[in-house]
C-alpha cells in the first residue's frame, strides 16, 4: 500500500507465519479444545481465579452442562465460540474478568474476542512492514554505472488478527513513519 502524501514510502501486509494465540489481559478467558490434545485455558489472555475448577468441569460435564456451570458458578453472562474443523475456542466473561476490565453492563460483548480467535484459527494473522525506497547509482569495476533501487525496512509490526485490521494498521503506520 502506498500513500500519495508520502512518495518513496510503502507498507506491505504479509502473513505472520509464526503467530501465536491472541494475547492481552483485557481479552476474555478462553478455553481451547483441540482434537487429540488436552483442553487448556489460553495463557496469554485473562486467566480466571477458578481456572482449575473450570478445566475440571469441562472434563466432567458435557457441552450444554458446561455452559450452565459457567453461568451458575462463575457469573458468566456471555459465551462466544470460534471454531474450525479441529479446534474450538470458548471465550467467556467470568465475574472476576468483568471486574478486572471494568465491564459494568451485561451481557458482555465478546464479538471482538471471538473475531480474533477466529482469525487465529483461520490463519488470518498478519504483519506490516513499512519500507522506504532508496535510489542511487552503482559504479562497476570497468567504470560503467547503473541505476539501483532498493526498499529498506523502517518499521515492522506483527501479530495482527484479521486482514481488515492489518490494512488499517498499515495505513496508520505508513503515515506515522513517513511523517
d(CA 110, CA 19): 21
What values do phi and psi take at 106, rounded to 5? Answer: -125, 150
The residues near 72 (Cβ < 8 Å, ≥ 6 apart) are none
Residue 25 has pLDDT above 80, yes or no: no
* Predicted local confidence at residue 158, as pLDDT: 96
Candidates 174, 43, 44; CA nearest to 55 is 43
**Each residue's pLDDT tens digit, 129-175:** 999 999 888 888 998 988 888 999 999 999 999 999 999 999 999 99
* Predicted local confidence at residue 133, as pLDDT: 94
pLDDT band at 86; cut points 50, 70, 90: very high
Q: Dig out the grid coordinates for 74 from the structure.
A: 462463575
CA 123 vs CA 20, 44, 83: distances in Å: 10, 18, 12
- pTM (predicted TM-score): 0.85
Q: What's the whole-number mean pLDDT along residues 114-132?
A: 96
Amino acid at each position: 500500500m502506498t500513500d500519495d502524501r508520502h512518495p518513496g514510502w510503502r507498507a506491505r501486509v504479509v502473513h505472520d507465519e509464526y503467530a501465536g494465540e491472541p494475547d492481552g489481559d483485557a481479552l476474555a478467558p478462553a478455553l481451547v479444545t483441540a482434537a487429540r490434545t488436552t483442553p487448556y485455558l489460553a495463557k496469554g489472555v485473562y486467566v480466571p481465579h477458578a481456572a482449575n475448577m473450570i478445566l475440571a468441569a469441562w472434563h466432567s460435564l458435557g457441552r450444554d452442562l458446561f455452559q450452565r456451570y459457567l453461568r451458575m458458578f462463575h457469573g458468566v453472562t456471555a459465551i462466544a465460540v470460534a471454531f474450525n474443523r479441529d479446534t474450538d475456542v470458548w471465550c467467556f466473561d467470568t465475574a472476576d474478568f468483568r471486574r478486572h476490565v471494568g465491564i459494568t453492563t451485561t451481557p458482555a460483548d465478546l464479538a471482538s474476542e471471538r473475531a480474533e480467535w477466529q482469525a487465529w484459527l483461520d490463519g488470518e494473522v498478519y504483519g506490516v512492514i513499512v519500507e522506504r525506497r532508496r535510489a542511487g547509482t552503482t559504479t562497476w569495476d570497468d567504470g560503467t554505472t547503473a541505476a539501483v533501487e532498493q526498499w529498506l525496512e523502517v518499521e515492522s509490526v506483527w501479530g495482527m488478527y484479521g486482514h481488515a485490521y492489518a490494512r488499517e494498521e498499515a495505513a496508520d503506520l505508513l503515515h506515522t513513519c513517513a511523517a
